[in-house]
């Protein structure tokens, strides 16, 4: 099956990204747009657009029926779901299958296995991956909960089975807090995800987030190296790089092998990522989750491997099999990506929708900008705050970092508040320059500066995660 | 915008050896401006093609992307703004609020533009109804902006006198979401 016309069920920079590859491959693009996005840059770049509903994502980008109907009406032979929205929704994969449309992604069984955190954990164990000690508990069984927490050791992490994107997490420091924390976490999980199940896991105090990029065709699975995404704020990645810096070679090799083993166990088809947690103290790694889609941070992998991951996704979806062998994947240089968001760090990271009145980015060798913005573009309040990704590449990490500092200094976005200043400050920070920071780094870095500047901390904000199937809005 | 990063890098490699500090490249579909600064090059792009699918109703109706209409051209940016209702200012809401305040009511306003929710999750009981007793710190709703759920607080002691927006309705910034009748 050759894909000739591809419907993109997404928006923003990833829509532009997919259109780029399609244009190079000679594939006609149909962009599904909400009313708000009809005048967007991706809409202008696509060969055609098709309206799928109003601005609210529940009626448009999260609407399986509308997306499939749009693909049928425009005679698209494939759907690329991008990331977020319906990308990991088994119902879209099933609906595509039923309608004879190629879904650019894994089959619904893999999406189901990856989407349920406990099921994914079970598959990881079956594939021989280390998982953090823990397990499902009944919040009503106080004895059982206390016994398990005791065996795990404090602090323990209470996690919602249906959670994701940092939602439904709670750290418990001692047995006295356990009962209350369990009850609240379960109630919260029920409220947020319609699933009150919670499980306990050992909490790793100083951990790095390292992930491995996979490509599989259902028979063979290869890896395209690792990425470090430890620079996070409220579980949202801010800076990503490849390869992960200051990782022992033995550890790196075993993490990559573990990810491939899990991919093989799942008979993985498409591009996917195995997220792992690295305990900085013990240098052990543990399985976190599988992301069964293209990821926001995929460009850093592309920059050091020269592989167009979207093109490989499409080739695999066409049934052409893996075109790369493990030995054929060569790594060269170091790449760093920063996410430029419409948010105001000086005002508690308040989101900043509006209209971009000016957008100037850096350009030059080793600089890549993935964006959907230009002067005049709307930044609607209905969607996420990602404005652009700046990706720099250098011969080594130090070279990439120098390039990053210069490239950030030349970016100017007007009309909406951005985190450009924060990104520049992180790029200049000594600890980040050393490399190998843990996931608490950015919040620690922000804390004294927020106080000093008198930045309002703001209340903890919940972040919507489409993966959990919250259909609100 | 219409050129790949590789294309831009190739152009810059050429420009680097030439005595020019600015390149303005325009086709019927896009315009790319490259500028040399002291620290390196910058790029700004403008896709000129009329937005595909504007005004198209329903599936199958999308417009052709290559409609190269001159609109949206060189400068000041109205091009592609589309997005009616996005990020709108809350002027209308403020006006309506004043009427309420004249009647001795205090408006609870949207802190940001976004989607207003009356309940913590779909199907759940609303935070408040008309007649509910509220204190300044009572959560009366949620406004979702850019995937962040912001709690909306009553801000006043009293009872809910009026709920101005339906659940899941879009709220412009500053618009009155509900009105509180102050008092014990």
CA atoms within 13 A on the CB side of A448: 3
Q: What parts of chain B have a pLDDT lower than 50?
A: 1, 51-98, 100
pLDDT in tens, A142-159: 889 999 999 999 999 998
Q: Which long-range contacts (CB under 8 A, 24 or more apart) does B128-132 make?
A: B128/B154, B128/B160, B128/B163, B128/B178, B129/B160, B129/B163, B130/B160, B130/B161, B130/B162, B130/B163, B131/B159, B131/B160, B132/B159, B132/B160
- A74 contacts B62 by C-beta, under 8 angstroms: yes
Do B53 and A374 count as a contact with CB atoms less than 8 A apart? no
Annotation says A330 is catalytic: no
Domain A207-449 CATH assignment equals 3.40.50.720: no
Domain spanning A133-202, CATH class? alpha beta
Cβ B42–A360 below 8 Å, yes or no?
yes
Least confident of A99-103, A201-205, A352-356: A201-205
* C-beta atoms of B87 and A354 within 8 A: yes
**What pLDDT does residue A141 have?**
87
DSSP state of A168: T
Q: What is the pLDDT of residue B18?
A: 87
| Range A5-104: architecture per CATH | 3-Layer(aba) Sandwich (3.40)
* CB pair distance less than 8 Å for B43 and A360: yes
Interchain contact, B40 vs A410, CB within 8 Å:
yes
Mean pLDDT across the stretch A96-123?
A: 94
Q: Closest-CA residue in chain A for B11?
A: A364
Preferred mutation among A363, A368, A410 to probe B, highest tally of B CBs within 10 A: A363
Q: How far is A351 from chain B (nearest CA, A)?
A: 7
In this prediction, the answer to ipTM > 0.85 reads no
- Of the residues B83, B142, B149, B150, the best mutation for testing chain A's interface (the one with the most A CB atoms within 10 Å of its CB) is B83
Domain boundaries, chain A: 5-104, 133-202, 207-449
Residue from the list B9, B112, B168 with its beta carbon closest to the beta carbon of A381: B112
pLDDT (0 to 100) of residue A161: 81
Euclidean distance between CA atoms B165 and B117, whole angstroms: 9
Which pLDDT does position A454 carry in this prediction?
53
Residue A379: strand, helix, or coil = strand
Position B94 scores a pLDDT of: 42
pLDDT tens digit sequence for A35-92: 999 999 999 999 999 999 999 998 999 999 999 999 999 999 999 999 999 999 999 9
Lowest average pLDDT, out of A10-14, A392-396, B167-171, goes to B167-171
Confidence of residue A461 (pLDDT cuts 50, 70, 90): very low
Q: In a mutagenesis test of the A interface, which of B5, B146, B173 is the best target, namely the one with the most A β-carbons within 10 Å?
A: B146
Distance CA A63, CA A95 (A): 12
Residues of B in contact with A364 (CB under 8 A): 9, 12, 40-41
In the block, tokens 């430890």 appear at A230
Whether the Cβ atoms of residue A127 and residue A140 lie closer than 8 Å to each other: no
Q: pLDDT tens-digit profile of A217-258?
A: 999 999 999 999 999 998 899 999 999 999 999 999 999 999
B2, B41, B60: residue with CB nearest A363: B41
H-only helix segments in A291-429: 298-305, 309-317, 397-409, 420-428
Mean pLDDT value across chain A: 92
Q: Are A436 and A245 in contact (CB under 8 A)?
A: yes
Other C-beta atoms closer than 10 Å to the C-beta of A290 total 28
pLDDT of residue B91: 38
* b/e map B140-167, b = 16+ CB within 10 Å: bbbbbbbbbbbbbbbbbbbbbbbbbbee
- Considering the candidates A256, A293, A368, A403, report the single residue annotated as catalytic: A293
Q: Which of A84, A79, A82, A115 is nearest to A266 (CA)?
A: A115
pLDDT at A124 over 60: yes
The answer to whether the Cβ–Cβ distance between B53 and A50 falls below 8 Å is yes
Q: Which residues of A touch B45 (CB under 8 A)?
A: 374
Alpha helices in A194-327 (DSSP H): 249-265, 298-305, 309-317
Q: In the Cβ-directed half-sphere of A241, how many Cα atoms lie within 13 Å?
A: 29
The predicted pLDDT at position A165 comes to: 59
Within 8 A of A470 by CB-CB distance, chain B residues are 121
Chain A to chain B Cβ contacts (< 8 Å) = 247
Query: Is A380 a residue whose pLDDT tops 90?
Result: yes
Alpha carbon of A441 to those of A119, A165, A432, B159: distances in Å?
30, 18, 9, 44
Q: How far apart are CA A362 and CA A364, in angstroms?
A: 7
Length of chain A (residues) = 473
Output the pTM of the full model: 0.88
Report the residue of chain A nearest B116, measured CA to CA: A473
What is the distance in angstroms between the Cα of A464 and the nearest Cα belonging to chain B?
5
pLDDT (average), residues A334-359: 95
- Give residue B13's pLDDT: 85
pLDDT band at A30 (very low <50, low <70, confident <90, very high): very high
CA torsion angle A142 A146 A152 A155 (round to 10): 100
Distance separating alpha carbons of residues A5 and B65, to the nearest angstrom? 14
Q: What is the pLDDT of residue B50?
A: 54
Buried residues in A307-319 as b, exposed as e (16+ CB within 10 A): bbbbbbbbbbbee
Asked if omega into B77 is within 30° of 0 (cis), the reply is: no
Q: How many CA atoms lie within 13 A of A33 on its CB side?
A: 36
Check A374 against B1: CB less than 8 A apart: yes
Neighbours of A228 (CB within 10 A): 25
């Amino acid at each position: 099956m050759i894909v000739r016309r591809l419907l993109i069920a997404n928006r923003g920079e990833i829509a532009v990204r997919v259109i780029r590859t399609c244009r190079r491959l000679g594939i006609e693009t149909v962009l599904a747009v909400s009313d708000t996005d009809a005048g967007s840059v991706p809409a202008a770049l696509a060969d055609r657009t098709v309206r799928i509903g109003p601005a609210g994502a529940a009626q448009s980008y999260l609407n399986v029926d509308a997306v499939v109907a749009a693909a049928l009406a425009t005679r698209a032979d494939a759907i690329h779901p991008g990331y977020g929205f319906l990308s990991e929704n088994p119902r879209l994969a099933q609906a595509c299958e039923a309608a004879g449309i190629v879904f650019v992604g894994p089959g619904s069984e893999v999406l189901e296995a990856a989407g349920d955190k406990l099921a994914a954990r079970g598959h990881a164990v079956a594939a021989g991956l280390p998982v953090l000690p823990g397990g499902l508990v009944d919040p009503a069984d106080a004895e059982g909960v206390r016994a398990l927490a005791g065996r795990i050791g404090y602090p323990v992490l209470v996690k919602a089975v249906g959670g994701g994107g940092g939602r439904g997490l709670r750290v418990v420091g001692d047995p006295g807090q356990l009962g209350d924390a369990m009850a609240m976490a379960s109630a919260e999980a029920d409220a947020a995800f319609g699933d009150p199940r919670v499980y306990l896991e050992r909490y790793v105090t100083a951990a790095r987030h390292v992930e491995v990029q996979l490509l599989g065709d259902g028979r063979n699975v290869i890896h395209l190296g690792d990425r470090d995404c430890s620079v996070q704020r409220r579980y949202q990645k801010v800076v990503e790089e490849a390869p992960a810096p200051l990782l022992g070679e033995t550890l790196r090799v075993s993490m990559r092998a573990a990810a491939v083993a899990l991919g093989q166990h799942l008979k993985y088809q498409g591009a996917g990522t195995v997220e792992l947690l690295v305990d900085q103290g013990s240098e052990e790694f543990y399985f976190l989750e599988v992301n069964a889609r293209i990821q926001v941070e995929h460009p850093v992998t592309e920059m050091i491997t020269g592989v167009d991951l979207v093109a490989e996704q499409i080739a695999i979806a066409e049934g052409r099999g893996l075109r790369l062998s493990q030995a054929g994947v060569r790594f060269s240089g170091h790449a760093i990506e920063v996410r430029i968001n419409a948010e105001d760090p000086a005002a508690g990271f308040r989101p900043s929708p509006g209209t971009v009145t000016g957008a100037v980015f850096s350009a030059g060798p080793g600089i890549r900008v993935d964006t959907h913005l230009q002067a005049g573009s709307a930044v609607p309040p209905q969607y996420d705050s990602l404005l652009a990704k700046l990706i720099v590449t250098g011969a080594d990490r130090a070279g990439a970092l120098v390039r990053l500092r210069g490239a950030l200094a030349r970016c100017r976005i007007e009309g909406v508040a951005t985190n450009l200043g924060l990104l520049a400050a992180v790029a200049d920070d000594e600890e980040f320059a050393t490399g190998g920071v843990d996931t608490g780094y950015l919040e620690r870095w922000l804390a004294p500066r927020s106080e000093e500047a008198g930045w309002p901390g703001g209340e903890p904000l919940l972040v919507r995660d489409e993966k959990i199937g919250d259909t609100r809005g | 915008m219409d050129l790949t990063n590789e294309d831009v890098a190739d152009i810059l490699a050429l420009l680097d050896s030439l005595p020019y500090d600015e390149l303005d490249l325009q086709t019927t579909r896009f315009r790319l401006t490259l500028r040399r600064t002291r620290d390196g090059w910058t790029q700004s792009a403008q896709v000129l093609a009329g937005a595909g699918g504007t005004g198209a109703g329903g599936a199958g109706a999308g417009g052709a992307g290559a409609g190269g209409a001159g609109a949206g051209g060189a400068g000041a940016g109205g091009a592609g703004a589309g997005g009616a209702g996005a990020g709108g200012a809350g002027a209308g809401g403020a006006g309506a609020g004043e009427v309420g305040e004249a009647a001795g009511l205090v408006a609870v306003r949207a802190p940001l533009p976004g989607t207003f929710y009356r309940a913590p999750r779909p199907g759940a009981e609303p935070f408040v109804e008309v007649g509910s007793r509220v204190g300044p710190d009572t959560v009366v709703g949620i406004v979702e902006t850019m995937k962040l759920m912001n709690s909306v607080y009553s801000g006043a002691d009293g009872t809910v006198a009026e709920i101005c927006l339906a659940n899941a309705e879009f709220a412009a910034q500053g618009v009155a979401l509900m009105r509180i009748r102050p008092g014990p």
